[in-house]
Amino acid sequence: MNAVSSVTAIPVASAAREMTRGRVLGAYLQEARAECLRYLRNPGFMIPTLILPTAFYLMFGILLGHANGPEAPRYLLAAYGTFGVMSPGLFGFGVASSMERDNGLLTLKRALPMPPGAYLLGKVVMAMFAAAVVSCVLVLLATLVAHVQLSPAQMAALFATNLFGSLPFCAMGLMLGMLIKGSGAPGIVNLIYLPMAFMSGLWFPLSLMPKAVQQIALALPPYHLNQVALAAVGLGQGAVWPHVATLAGFSAVFLAIAARRLRRHG
């Protein structure tokens, strides 16, 4: 009897493990789908994310761009692409995570029988999806309206830069979401988001700014992402890998701080 039970238990256990893998994958996919749908149905998130970089590029990159030099539309395509991909990570993680932590939703999700990484992956997919939409709109405006000449390789490089460039800001947003209160999160994130973009040279070239601002820019993630984006559109100066390594370092530090805060306080 015991022998029979042991034999029959093996395929049952194997089937259970296969079902568990399927459920794990399904949890990841459903969480990512739910996050994307939630933000697509939230005009308060998607409209500013899409409108701000588009409006800035239309005004400064197209209407006033050529007055600042023939390469201004190309330069500002990289700069406003960087500006656009900052927002989904900072606000999708920073504001949303802090509010979900305060109202108990994050605690509920952690108690549910779902993989711990599904919550984070869902928000990362949402941020990358929003970054992809912003990138596509800006490239269309640059090539069709501003007549910026980009090769297919440059378009692909810029798209990949913006897509994966959203990850450091997801990590930064997660860190902020674990450190600040939900009620004050929108204001605090805006106080970080806008000055950081300005001091990184996304609105005006750093060469026109005071030396102190130029030094501060070196310690800001948007500056390094913008350098990679400029290289993607053919305006790079120097090697790209130091900027990529710096962005990876920023991401690791932000994630470590967020994980430590989450373990201590939830």
Closest CA to 123 of 190, 39, 179, 225: 39
Percent of the chain whose predicted confidence (pLDDT) is above 70: 88
- Residue 265's pLDDT band (boundaries 50, 70, 90)? low
Residue 1 confidence (pLDDT)? 44
Residue 3 confidence (pLDDT)? 45
* pLDDT per position as a tens digit, 55-74: 999 988 888 766 667 788 99
Residue 165 confidence (pLDDT)? 94
Residue 63 confidence (pLDDT)? 83
* pLDDT per position as a tens digit, 164-218: 999 999 999 989 988 888 778 888 888 999 999 999 999 888 888 889 999 999 9
Residue 10 confidence (pLDDT)? 39
Residue 11 confidence (pLDDT)? 43
What is the arithmetic mean of pLDDT over 147-162? 94
Q: Is the pLDDT score of 266 beyond 50?
A: yes
Q: Is the pLDDT score of 4 beyond 50?
A: no
Q: Is the pLDDT score of 78 beyond 90?
A: yes
Lowest mean pLDDT, pick from 1-10, 116-125, 160-169, 257-266: 1-10
User: For residue 147, how many C-alpha atoms fall within 13 Å in the half-sphere facing its CB?
Assistant: 3
Q: What is the pTM of this model?
A: 0.83
What residues have CB less than 8 Å from 22, skipping those under 6 apart?
none
Structure tokens at 108: 């509920």
Q: Is the pLDDT score of 51 beyond 90?
A: no
* pLDDT per position as a tens digit, 96-107: 878 877 777 777
* pLDDT per position as a tens digit, 109-130: 766 767 767 778 888 888 898 8
Return left, alpha or beta for 204; rule: phi > 0 is left, psi -120 to 50 is alpha, else beta.
beta
Residue 21 confidence (pLDDT)? 72
Provide the 8-state DSSP code for 42.
-
Question: Mean pLDDT for the chain?
Answer: 83
DSSP assignments along 183-252, one per residue: TTHHHHHHHHHHHHHHHTTSSS-GGGS-HHHHHHHTTSHHHHHHHHHHHHTT---S-SHHHHHHHHHHHH
Residue 113 confidence (pLDDT)? 67
